[in-house]
A and B are shown apart, each in its own frame.
Chain A
Amino acid sequence: MRTLPFNRWISNTRNLAVFHIFLFLVSSVVVGVFLWLAYQNNAYKESKAALKTDLHGFSDVYDLNGSATDLRNAVEQRLKSRELSSFYLLMDEKGRRITGNLNEMPTIVDEIDGEFVVYDLHHDDTGVRAPEKSIYTLFNPYYDIMTITLELENGMTLLVGRDVDLFQNFYWLIIGFAWMAAALISILSLIGFLTGNMILKNVRHIHTTADTVINTGDLSSRIPVRAMTGDFKQLADTLNIMLDRIQDLVMGIRQVSDNIAHDLRTPLTRLRHHIESLKENRDPKGIERAAAETDRVIATFNALLQIANIEYKKRRESFRVLDLADIIADIHEYYELIAEDQHIRFYLSLPPQTPLPVTGDENLLFQAFSNLVENAVKFTPKGGTIALTAGCGDKGFSISLTDSGPGISDADKPFVFRRFYRAQESRHTPGTGLGLPLVKAVMDLHHAAVTLADNPPSGLRVRMVFPRSDTPAQ
């Protein structure tokens, strides 16, 4: 038995998950690097440039006159106009504050980048006006300020600083982002892994069931759907229904072949006995009986083939518009005498408005009706009644056949249209068990519905409803 390897499937799904995670990782790194570069190149450079410009401005003022007062005035002027993110400190040669918004020279060095020094500055250390507390200061009471210092000829020192806390925070943001991305990737990987596993588990269930069916031919196994949800449940349900249907069909075929074997064994055994007895004496009656037995076997096969032909070929080439009333009347006429011989009253009633146009094959219809009437005649006791009634409705015509025989028990009714099915009561009467299946096949071919009901007080009512043909009978 050929089976497909399941491993390929595993790697396919896993690969897909891994590929997606990898893709996410790469894009995160790319975005992170991009942000880092943007931070490095622009924010810092801009700050440095601004600081330098600022410092040069002051040094120019000093260089012009060499006056410390001018410089002091310039710084104080600037302090008035400048926003709070700038820091200035002018100190004398002993390091004492002359002016500025810092109390003293900051001490905690965070980072030295050439001439630029980044200090950690406590909020309380900022000079006259403390900067507003931002969301960051809640967690971190220190400011990051980037400074550049200029020592003047007269020994004074000028410090120009800029708040880079925002950039520093931005830096931490990027680091945070990286960690978050890492966490996210981990979580997603986990989710992906679990989802993939669930999908794989479902697929594996389906695969295992299919494998079992393929390998053992056991059609009774089903995909476990209880743990499944959504699309997989739907798929599994559909596949299970398909398996149900296949099982039904296979069982049907198995049953039919069992029945064929069983039903043909009897006449064939009898045939063998006849032939054996012919060895001893060449009795012409024995030959005839053997021939009759053979005919019965052939008739069974013919009936089977005919039903199969009608059921599977669905050929309607021989169909034409015909009058159902004609066929019913012919059937009545054909069987009237035999009913009379058996002291059965056989009534025919046709609706006043004939013809009853139906598209069909008159030979098949005649044969189907004939099977039904034959059954009715066979099972109706002497003095009984059979009635063949045609009715006219809006959408079609109904034909019913009622008899006063023993009827068919409710337990048997659903099965009598199956090939070779014989109700318990009729086991010992002659018949192939193919009469009603043929009726059903013919009715199906004609899109006619056939139903069985009781005909109180005793008997069977077979009712067939034919769709009306749009064109009149020829």
Chain B
Amino acid sequence: MIEDDRTVRSYIIKGLAENGHTAEGAETGKDGLFLATTETFDAIVLDRMLPPPDGMTILRTLRATGIDTPVLVLSALGDVDDRVKGLKAGGDDYLVKPFAFSELMARLEVIARRGSTGQARETVLQAGRLEMDLLKHRVTCAGREIPLQPREFSLLEYLMRNKGQVVTRTMLLEQIWHYHFDPETNVIDVHISRLRAKIDDKNARHSAIKTVRGAGYLIGDD
């Protein structure tokens, strides 16, 4: 966690600890770069604005020295241009301050897992009674085939790929619709509820897609 604002840094480290993760903090770019190059981490949270070297320089240095630890870039600059620059410099994800901790947590877990599983391509995804055949583009629930619209399919696919992890509405908008902005209304919820209506048994007590209050959605094995 490379961040010069003490409040934000300790808040995030505390939050990560509460979620069962261990995190180390660095106040300056110099300390951060030293930590990132000498120790192994699952993921790095990097602020753009730092006492020199700045976030982008650290990121480029890391990538140039072959360290491909997933990096989530934090920034107070909300421009689309900045996002593009951040991602081009080798960042894996980009989050604009101020952000909800749940958003950071969800994104961090996704990029950390992406780092550990690498680019291994599964052809069949499975979650509970749901099964998704990516080659045949088919979804079954306990053997019963469920016809899905392309968008519903990609929604479900993204949830199943990140099984057991919370995905936020913003992440869904980014990943499924490929637009980057903060959806403030419940449009995504409507899409999810449609998907739920299709994949859930009418008499099931819980939906396969769980709503995580204040954060987003999650698909599990139960």
What residues make up the interface of A, taking CB atoms closer than 8 Å to B?
A: 288, 291, 295, 298-299, 302, 305-306, 309, 313, 315, 317-318, 330, 333-335, 337-338, 341, 361-364, 366-367, 370, 374
Chain B: which residue is nearest A310 at the CB level?
B79
CB pair B79–A309 under 8 Å, yes or no, is yes
What residues make up the interface of B, taking CB atoms closer than 8 Å to A?
A: 78-81, 84, 96, 98, 100, 151, 177, 179-187, 190-191, 194, 213-214
Query: Which single member of B80, B84, B187 contacts A338 (CB below 8 Å)?
Result: B187
Which residues of B lie under 8 Å from residue A317 when comparing CB positions?
81, 84
CB pair B191–A362 under 8 Å, yes or no, is no
CB pair B194–A367 under 8 Å, yes or no, is no
A306 and B181 CA atoms in complex are apart in Å by 11
CB pair A374–B185 under 8 Å, yes or no, is yes
A374 and B179 CA atoms in complex are apart in Å by 16
Query: Which single member of A288, A291, A309, A330 contacts B177 (CB below 8 Å)?
Result: A330
A313 and B82 CA atoms in complex are apart in Å by 12
A283 and B214 CA atoms in complex are apart in Å by 15
CB pair A341–B179 under 8 Å, yes or no, is no
Within the complex, the shortest CB–CB distance from B166 to chain A, in Å, comes to 16
Chain B: which residue is nearest A288 at the CB level?
B214
Which residues of A lie under 8 Å from residue B151 when comparing CB positions?
333
A298 and B100 CA atoms in complex are apart in Å by 10
A-B contacts, 17 of them at CB < 8 A, read A288-B214, A291-B214, A313-B79, A318-B80, A318-B81, A318-B84, A333-B151, A334-B187, A335-B187, A337-B191, A338-B187, A338-B190, A361-B80, A364-B80, A366-B177, A366-B181, A370-B181
A364 and B98 CA atoms in complex are apart in Å by 20
Which residues of A lie under 8 Å from residue B214 when comparing CB positions?
288, 291
Chain A: which residue is nearest B194 at the CB level?
A337
Chain A: which residue is nearest B80 at the CB level?
A318
Which residues of A lie under 8 Å from residue B183 when comparing CB positions?
370
A131 and B172 CA atoms in complex are apart in Å by 121
Query: Which single member of A306, A335, A370, A374 contacts B78 (CB below 8 Å)?
Result: A306
CB pair A363–B186 under 8 Å, yes or no, is no
A11 and B98 CA atoms in complex are apart in Å by 60
CB pair B182–A302 under 8 Å, yes or no, is yes
Chain A: which residue is nearest B191 at the CB level?
A337
Which residues of B lie under 8 Å from residue A334 when comparing CB positions?
177, 187, 191
